[in-house]
A and B are shown apart, each in its own frame.
Chain A
Amino acid sequence: MAEEANFKCLRCGQEFKLPYDPKAGPQERTCPKCRSNSVRRIKEQKK
Chain B
Amino acid sequence: MMDVGRHPRIKLFVYSEVEDVSGYVGNFKVKVRKKARYVDENECNACAECAKICPVVVPDEFQMGFSSRKAIYIQLPQAVPSAYVLDMNACLGNNPIACGKCVEVCDKKCIDYDMQDQFIDLEVGAIIVASGMDVYDPTELDEFGYTRFDNVITSMEFERLICAGGPTTGHFIRLSDRETPKTIGFVQCVGSRSERRGNRYCSNICCMNTIKDTVLLKDHYPDIEVKVFYMDLRAFGKGFEDLLRRSRSEGVKYIRGIPGEIYEDSKTKNLILDVENTTTGEVEKHELDMLVLSVGVIPRQDGDLIQKLLTLSRTVDGFFMESHPKLKPVDAPTRGVFFAGCSESPKDVKDSVTQASASASRAGILLSSDRIKVEAITSVIDKDKCTSCGICYQACPFKAIVVDRKAKIPAEVIEAACAGCGTCGAECPFGAVTMKHFTDEQIFPQIDAILEENPQDKIVVFACNWCSYQGGDNAGMSRLQYPATGRIIRTMCSGRVDEQFILYAFSKGAPIVLVSGCHFADCHYIDANRWTQKRVEKLWDKLERKGIRPERLQLEWISAAEGQKFAKVMREIEEMRQKVTPEEIEHTKKVLSDWKPKGAKRRPKKAEVKIEA
Write the residues of chain A forming the contact surface with B, with a CB cutoff of 8 angstroms.
Answer: 10-11, 25-28, 34, 36-38, 40-41
Contacts and interface: CB of A to CB of B under 8 A. Distances in A.
B4 interface: no
- Which 9 residue pairs spanning A and B have beta carbons closest together? A28-B520, A26-B533, A26-B530, A10-B551, A38-B555, A38-B554, A37-B556, A37-B557, A37-B555
Interface in B548-564: 550-551, 553-557
Contacts of A34: 572
Please indicate which of the listed interface residues A10, A25, A27 has the most CB atoms of chain B within 10 Å of its own CB: A10
Nearest to B557: A37
Contacts of A10: 540, 550-551, 553-555
Contacts of A40: 537, 540, 550
Contact of B554 (A11, A25, A26, A27): A11
Contacts of A37: 555-557
B572 A11 contact: yes
Contacts of B557: 28, 37
A41 B572 CA distance: 21
Contacts of B576: 11
Interface in B516-572: 519-521, 527, 530, 533-534, 537, 540, 550-551, 553-557, 569, 572
By secondary structure, the A interface counts as loop
A28 B557 CA distance: 8
A17 B572 CA distance: 23
Given A10-B540, A11-B572, A11-B576, A36 B534 contact: no
27 contacts: A10-B540, A10-B551, A10-B555, A11-B572, A11-B573, A25-B527, A25-B530, A26-B520, A26-B530, A26-B533, A26-B537, A28-B520, A28-B557, A34-B572, A36-B554, A36-B556, A36-B569, A36-B572, A37-B555, A37-B556, A38-B553, A38-B554, A38-B556, A40-B537, A40-B540, A40-B550, A41-B537
B499 to A, nearest CB: 16
A26 B576 CA distance: 26
Please indicate which of the listed interface residues A10, A38, A41 has the most CB atoms of chain B within 10 Å of its own CB: A38
Interface string B34-64: 0000000000000000000000000000000
A26 B519 CA distance: 12
A37 B373 CA distance: 37
Contacts of A27: 520
A34 B573 CA distance: 12
A42 to B, nearest CB: 11
A26 to B, nearest CB: 4
Contacts, number: 41
Contacts of B521: 28
A11 B555 CA distance: 9
A14 to B, nearest CB: 12
Contacts of B556: 36-38
Contacts of B554: 10-11, 36, 38
A28 B494 CA distance: 14
A25 to B, nearest CB: 6
A38 B540 CA distance: 10
B197 to A, nearest CB: 18
Given A27-B520, A38-B556, 9 more contacts: A10-B553, A11-B551, A11-B573, A25-B527, A25-B530, A28-B519, A28-B557, A38-B554, A41-B537
Contact of B534 (A26, A28, A38): A26
A46 B272 CA distance: 61
A5 B147 CA distance: 40
A10 B395 CA distance: 26
A9 B56 CA distance: 63
A41 to B, nearest CB: 8
Nearest to A25: B530
Interface in B233-269: none
A8 to B, nearest CB: 9
Please indicate which of the listed interface residues A25, A27, A37 has the most CB atoms of chain B within 10 Å of its own CB: A37
Contacts of B540: 10, 40
A6 to B, nearest CB: 14
A47 B358 CA distance: 61
Nearest to A36: B556
Contacts of B573: 11
A26 B573 CA distance: 24
Contacts of A28: 519-521, 533, 557
